[in-house]
Amino acid sequence: AMVQRIVREADYITVHSPLTSETRGIIGAKQFEMMKPTARLINCARGGIIDEAALVEALKSKRIAGAALDVFSKEPLAADHPLRSLDNVVLTPHLGAATAEAQENVAIELAQQIVDLLQGGMIRNAVNAPAVDPAALEAMRPYLRLAEQLGKFISQLPDGRIVRLNILYGGTVLDYPMVPLTTAVAKGFLEVRLDPPINYVNALRRLKQMGVELTDTRSSKIFSYTNLITIEAITDEGRAYNVSGTLFSPELPRIVIVNEKDVDTLPYGNLVVIENRDLPGTIGAVATLIGSRGINIAQVAWGRTRPGGDAMTVINLDDAPPPELIEEIRRLPNILWAKTFTV
């Protein structure tokens, strides 16, 4: 309806659209019949959007006043093409990207893409990396950051050699392509294990070289969160570890499940992760020990399977704890295991 209104009312009509199955031939004989005889048509977007045969007839019959074209259905335009014989059309050989302004903008855009890459951002328009529409990329950046953080977390959680990663996506994260997200998980997983550079180009390949099998699955299951990324790590001894994360908002990522226990913690910074008996004074003793070393606790989150059973505790610290502190925590009563790592 909008196209019909434009062609009926406009004096100058310019095309600004990609060529898709919906836009191919969108301006044809029917639309030319609706145009004013004084209308002029300009297309510097894509050839094929305008029906060239219908345009030739409209120009020959003076149904419209004129046209200016920089793009064509088949390029270069054939020497005997009917458009070349008309005096009410201006033709240029696809010069849109060859102007000084266009070349400068291309250089600026390329430089910005390199800056994004070097600062750890997603690679755009590379021939050997996942391709993502720029608008979609901007919208999914928070999910990419979360996926990287979860990859770092699961990389450091298990004991033993990890031989398989299973990734499950659910909720609104399904609105985005999986390949960049899975690549982000692999990137985060490897960054804490291998020397740089680890990036969106080589992460999946280097993960495979390490002998780590990778699967990713989209789930239509209804979760307790509007979006959820879950990573399960399987060790060479067959033990399974898992972590789940969500976005409460673009700027509020959270780890919400660790080894099947509900927690609610920040997925970055210096972390102490503890599995302990759910008994009085256990976490208090840990907090007292950390404080005695002059390290401030930023946040504590814990979850349990049942009262008095096993619990998972995640402590965010303002500073990295020394190795001897973790050894002291492990020796405390009711501590099953304890680890420290940075996400």
Show which residues are catalytic. Answer: 46, 75, 94
Helix 282-292 crosses helix 323-330 at what angle (to 10 degrees)? 150
Helix 134-156 crosses helix 178-191 at what angle (to 10 degrees)? 40
75-91 residues labelled b (16+ CB within 10 A) or e (exposed)? eebeeebebeebeebee
Strand partners, 261: 258
How far is Cα of residue 313 from the mean position of the Cα atoms in its chain? 30
Q: Specify the 3-state DSSP secondary structure of 258.
A: strand
Residue among 247, 187, 194 nearest 223 (CA): 247
Whole-number Å distance between alpha carbons of 126 and 137:
13
Residue among 152, 181, 176, 183 nearest 267 (CA): 152
12-42 residues labelled b (16+ CB within 10 A) or e (exposed)? ebebeeebeeebebbbbeebbeebeeebbbb
Q: What is residue 84's DSSP assignment?
A: G
Helix (H) or strand (E) holding 68: strand 66-69
**Burial category of 106 from C-beta neighbours within 10 Å (exposed 0-12, middle 13-18, buried 19 and up):** exposed
Whole-number Å distance between alpha carbons of 70 and 57:
19
Whole-number Å distance between alpha carbons of 130 and 26:
31
